[in-house]
């Protein structure tokens, strides 16, 4: 170690595997921002399902080992590298990505993945913005090309992406239906933009949705668990309807004929496929939502950094998410 090198606490992953490969360490060197990079003192970091897929080694993008997980941090600019003009030390910010990893007391991020955090939102809410809101916005407005007056079913609406989608869809003039697995989850979904909510643990909930929407069906379905729901989704769609796949944890058998008469579409979405220009566009729309007040992240379970293993176990195995899971530093 170089003399005078500042140290921090961080989670390190040395091999791909289960939650127990997340190692809490307290002697990690604080990274130094390079050209077009900033160093952020992290106050909170979002925990996303994709973090668990990357950690397990099953995701398409594999980081070089060892690495620190986490993309969505909020905090305060500690230092800026060369050629950074948009931010200065002391600015409150949130990110849609980091270079050094977010499960840490400090994180380096490229300046084009960093955004101003309005005073209206606290740091915990700031950590809930990145993946959930940018994914939900991309899914609804870019991939589904949602129009005011259309209907959307958010299938799994009580988690981070689901609640973001409900808020965005309501603000953009859609009729919003949601599903959740608990009474608490249903209430949170209703309070965050849904006109109607259904319990996806009830055996006949699909029939209840069909009865609610009638013959015309649903224009857009945002699907968080496609390996369970995709076949049902195809039957719920309207003519020209589209299922946007935000999450899936395995294979499923469908009948392609279900797409033919309705000329419906199945479209996958990944936030990281967005171009820089698209990120800027999404950010502008979301910043406006924060200023006007319809964009309000709902925080769910919170864990200290050293309990990251527990967080990763719970985000996959907990029954019925309510709000966004975060780590607090």
Taking the C-alpha atoms of residue 180 and residue 321, their distance in angstroms, rounded to an integer, is 8
What is residue 187's predicted lDDT score, i.e. its pLDDT? 97
Centre a 10 Å sphere on the Cβ of residue 214 and count the other Cβ atoms it contains. 7
Tokens read off for 313: 């176990």
Query: Residue 28: what are its φ and ψ, rounded to 5°?
Result: -90, 135
Provide the pLDDT for residue 191.
98
Secondary-structure percent of the chain, ordered helix, strand, coil, rounded to 5: 35, 30, 40
Q: Per-residue pLDDT tens for 315-325?
A: 988 766 789 99
In this prediction the pTM is 0.94
Contact 323, 182 (CB under 8 A): no
pLDDT at 319: 67
- Residue 1's pLDDT is 46
> Cβ contacts of residue 6 below 8 Å, gap of 6+?
29, 30
The DSSP bridge partners found for residue 169 are none
Give the Cα separation of 211 and 217 in Å (integer).
10
Q: Looking at residue 3, what is its pLDDT?
A: 55
- Report the alpha-carbon distance of residue 20 to residue 114 in Å, rounded: 30
Model pLDDT, residue 134: 98
Phi/psi region, residue 57 (left: phi>0; alpha: psi -120 to 50; beta: rest), is left
pLDDT digits (tens, 9 = 90+) for 285-305: 999 999 999 999 999 999 999
Contact in structure between 181 and 320 (CB atoms under 8 Å):
yes
- Domain spans in the chain, listed from the N-terminal domain onward: 7-128+297-328, 132-272
- Determine the CATH number of domain 132-272: 3.40.50.720
Is residue 193 within 8 A of residue 177, CB to CB? The reply is no
Evaluated on CA atoms 143, 318, 303, 307, the torsion sign reads negative
- The CATH number of 7-128+297-328 is which of 3.40.50.2300, 3.90.850.10, 3.90.180.10, 3.40.50.170? 3.90.180.10
Eight-state DSSP code of residue 139: I
- Secondary structure letter of residue 153 according to DSSP: E
> CA-CA distance, 46 to 48, in Å (whole number)?
6
Neighbours of 81 (CB within 10 A): 16
Ranges of the chain whose pLDDT falls below 50: 1
95: β partners: 114
């Amino acid at each position: 170690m170089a003399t005078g090198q500042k140290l921090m606490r961080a989670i390190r992953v040395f091999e791909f595997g289960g939650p127990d490969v997340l190692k809490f360490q307290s002697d990690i060197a604080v990274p130094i921002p390079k050209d077009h990079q900033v160093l952020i003192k992290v106050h909170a970091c979002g925990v996303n399902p994709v973090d668990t897929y990357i950690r397990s080694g099953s995701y398409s993008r594999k980081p070089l080992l060892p690495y620190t997980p986490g993309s969505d941090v909020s905090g305060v600019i500690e230092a800026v590298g060369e050629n950074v003009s948009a931010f200065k030390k002391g600015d409150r910010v949130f990110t849609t990505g980091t270079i050094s990893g977010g499960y840490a007391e400090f994180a380096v991020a490229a300046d084009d993945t960093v955004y101003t955090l309005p005073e209206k939102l606290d740091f915990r809410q700031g950590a809930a913005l990145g993946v959930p809101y940018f994914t939900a916005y991309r899914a609804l407005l870019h991939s589904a090309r949602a129009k005011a007056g259309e209907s959307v079913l958010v299938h799994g609406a009580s988690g981070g992406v689901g609640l973001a989608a409900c808020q965005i869809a309501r603000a953009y003039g859609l009729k919003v239906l949601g599903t959740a697995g608990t009474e608490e989850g249903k209430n949170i979904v209703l309070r965050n933009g849904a006109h109607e909510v259904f319990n996806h643990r009830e055996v006949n909930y699909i029939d209840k949705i069909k009865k609610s929407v009638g013959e015309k069906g649903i224009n857009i379905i945002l699907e968080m668990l496609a390996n369970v729901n995709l076949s049902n989704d195809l039957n719920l769609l309207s003519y020209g309807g589209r299922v946007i796949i935000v999450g899936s944890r395995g294979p499923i058998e469908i009948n392609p004929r279900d797409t033919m008469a309705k000329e419906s579409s199945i479209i996958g979405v990944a936030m990281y496929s967005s171009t820089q220009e698209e990120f800027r566009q999404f950010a502008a729309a979301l910043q406006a939502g924060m200023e006007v007040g319809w964009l309000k992240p709902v925080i769910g379970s919170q864990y200290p950094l050293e309990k990251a293993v527990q967080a990763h176990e719970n985000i996959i195995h907990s029954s019925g998410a309510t709000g966004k899971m975060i780590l607090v530093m």
